[in-house]
Amino acid sequence: MIDKKQQNFDAIAPYYDALLWVTSGSTILRSQTALLPEIYERSDTIRTIAVIGGGTGAFLDTLLNRWPETIPLPDVYSIDGSERMLRISRERIARAYPDSLHRLYFIHRRLPWRADKPPPGWPRFDLIITNYVLDCFDDATVAQVQSQLHQLLKTNGLWLCVDFYVQQPGRIRRVLARTIIRGLYLFFQITTGLRPTRLPAYDRFFSEHDYRLRAEKTHAFKLIRARLYEKNADAAFRLTLK
C-alpha cells in the first residue's frame, strides 16, 4: 500500500528495471553513463562517492564495473529513501563485487535530513551522483537537498547530475517535452505517490553556487541532460565567510 503522505518507490522497485527497459530501452542507463570517461579521468582523486536515489543499482554496477583497474575502488555510500530499492541494489552489488563489500554502504534515508548537520558518520565526498532524483522534489525542497549535498561535497569535488529538462529550442519541441514530462509525473504520482507535478529548477543551485560545468551530453532529442559539475574553491570559501 502506498503511503499517501510520503512518496515511496517501494511498490515499483521490483518492476523498475523492466519498466525502464520497456518505456525507454537503454536510453536512461546510457544517459547516466555518458560522462563516465570524464569521471574516470579524475579517478585517482576520487576516494568517496555518494549515490543519491540510486534505485536498483544499475548505474552503480556500471560505474564500478568500468572503474580503472589501476585505481583502487572508492568507498561508495548509496543513499535511498526506498528500502526495497536499496535491498535490490545491495543484492545486485554484493553478487558482482563480493570482495569489495566492506567499501560499500547502503543507507536507508530520505533527503532532506532534518538537522543542521549531516547524519553522524557520513564522510565528505569527492563525487556526488544525483541521477533522476532531483526531479522528485519541488522547487523549495530541491534547493534544500542541494544545499545539504553541497555541504557534503569537498572543494573541487565532482557532481554528476542527470535528469530531464525542458529548455528545448523551438516552441513545438518545448510543448512536446513538457507533455512527455507531465505524463511521467502522472505515472509516478499514481505508482509512488510522488507529489511534485513538474520539474524543479535544479539548475539554479549550480549557477548560484558557482559550480563549474566540466562536461555535458544530451539524449532523447535533448529531453535528458547529463552534466558533470565541479565545486568551485571560491564558492566554498565564500560560504564559510558568511
Ligand X SMILES: C[S@@+](CC[C@H](N)C(=O)[O-])C[C@H]1O[C@@H](n2cnc3c(N)ncnc32)[C@H](O)[C@@H]1O
Chain residues that interact with ligand X, rule: CB under 6 A:
9, 28, 53-55, 80-82, 85, 110-111, 131-133, 136
Q: Specify the residue, 131 or 146, whose C-beta has the smaller distance to ligand X.
A: 131
Q: Specify the residue, 23 or 207, whose C-beta has the smaller distance to ligand X.
A: 23
Q: Specify the residue, 86 or 236, whose C-beta has the smaller distance to ligand X.
A: 86
- Measured between alpha carbons, how far is 99 from 113 in angstroms, rounded to an integer? 31
Please state the closest distance from residue 53 (CB atom) to ligand X, in A: 3
Which phi and psi angles does 155 have, rounded to 5°?
-60, 135
Please state the closest distance from residue 51 (CB atom) to ligand X, in A: 8
- Measured between alpha carbons, how far is 134 from 146 in angstroms, rounded to an integer? 8
Of 134, 142, 187, nearest to 164 by C-alpha is: 134
Please state the closest distance from residue 110 (CB atom) to ligand X, in A: 4
- Measured between alpha carbons, how far is 32 from 129 in angstroms, rounded to an integer? 10
Please state the closest distance from residue 228 (CB atom) to ligand X, in A: 16
Q: Specify the residue, 84 or 209, whose C-beta has the smaller distance to ligand X.
A: 84
Q: Specify the residue, 82 or 146, whose C-beta has the smaller distance to ligand X.
A: 82
H helix intervals, 8-82 = 16-24, 27-33, 36-41, 58-65
Please state the closest distance from residue 213 (CB atom) to ligand X, in A: 21
Edge-to-edge strand order for the sheet containing 75-80?
104-108, 75-80, 48-52, 125-131, 153-164, 224-230, 212-219
Cell matching residue 170: 523551438
